[in-house]
Amino acid sequence: MAKQSRGPLVEDGIVVGNTTQKYESGNPLTRILVNNFCEAVGELAAQVAPQTIFEVGCGEGHVTKVLLERTKANIDAVDISETILDMARENVNSSRVSFECENIYAIEGEKRRADLVVCCEVLEHLDDPQRGLEILADAAAPHAILSVPREPLWRVLNMARGAYWNDWGNTPGHLQHWSKSGFVNFVSQEFEVMQVRSVLPWTILIARSRRAV
């Protein structure tokens, strides 16, 4: 059962998404930040010109749209929530995209290989990010675009706008907290990091899987 409120969408006690407030915000500063994020993801995806993309944690399809616009790839997009996927199907209508409900931990990476794996704003929600990273590395053949909020900047900006004061600015559902260097070091366990973009307030990188053959 999904519980909708002004904040993130909660399903069976788990924060599963609802980024629409961010991507469709009327706040000029928020729009600038989000547009910069989307532009960076689009540029990185275009650089490798993938024919196939596997997007893990597609949410309502906002990044999926960027990938459609900036590449010619067929996109296999998955998310943990059918409620969120229904929103994605309404937002994205293309024969190049398929949506499927799947938990990242249940993904068999070797069977879902794609030229480019995209996993934006997901790893910080995982209680076992190491396992998530290994699965992404198995699926990436060979490239991946990964992003997470940049800490502690993310919390500072939340508090500056008066959000989540009781949790010291921590967004609901964020279990992991990486600085830019911390995230690069984490990803480097399974990937060769090729480029790092410090797009306020995110860290975005493109990397090559060490497991790719």
Dump pLDDT digits (tens) for 67-99: 999 999 999 999 999 999 999 999 999 999 999
Split at pLDDT 50, 70, 90, the class of 1 is very low
Give mean pLDDT, residues 187-209.
97
Give mean pLDDT, residues 174-201.
95
pLDDT reported for residue 60? 93
pLDDT reported for residue 151? 78
- What is d(CA 211, CA 208) in angstroms, rounded to the nearest whole number? 9
Closest CA to 46 of 180, 113, 145: 145
pLDDT reported for residue 165? 59
Domain 29-209 class, CATH top level: alpha beta
**pTM of the predicted model over 0.85:** yes
- What is d(CA 65, CA 50) in angstroms, rounded to the nearest whole number? 15
- What average pLDDT does the chain have? 86
What is the token pair recorded at 159?
Answer: 């508090």
- What is d(CA 145, CA 58) in angstroms, rounded to the nearest whole number? 13
Give mean pLDDT, residues 19-36.
73
Least confident of 23-32, 45-54, 66-75: 23-32
pLDDT reported for residue 3? 39
Do 103 and 130 form a contact (C-beta atoms < 8 A)? no
- What is d(CA 207, CA 72) in angstroms, rounded to the nearest whole number? 20
Give mean pLDDT, residues 150-176.
64
- What is d(CA 117, CA 77) in angstroms, rounded to the nearest whole number? 10
CA distances for 7 relative to 32, 60, 114, angstroms: 21, 15, 33
Dump pLDDT digits (tens) for 36-47: 999 999 999 999
Do 85 and 99 form a contact (C-beta atoms < 8 A)? yes
**What amino acid is encoded at 199 in this protein?**
V
pLDDT reported for residue 171? 66
Give mean pLDDT, residues 12-40.
72
Query: pLDDT higher for 150 or 139?
Result: 139
| % pLDDT > 70, the chain | 77
pLDDT reported for residue 33? 86
Instruction: Show the CA angle centred on residue 147, arms to residues 143 and 150, nearest 5°.
Output: 145
Split at pLDDT 50, 70, 90, the class of 174 is confident
Instruction: Report the DSSP pairing between strands 114-120 and 9-11.
Output: unpaired
Q: What is the per-residue burial (b if ≥16 Cβ within 10 Å, else e) of 76-109? A: bbbbbbebbbebbeebbeeeebebeebebeebeb
Give mean pLDDT, residues 200-207.
96
Split at pLDDT 50, 70, 90, the class of 5 is very low
> Residue ranges of the domains in the chain?
29-209
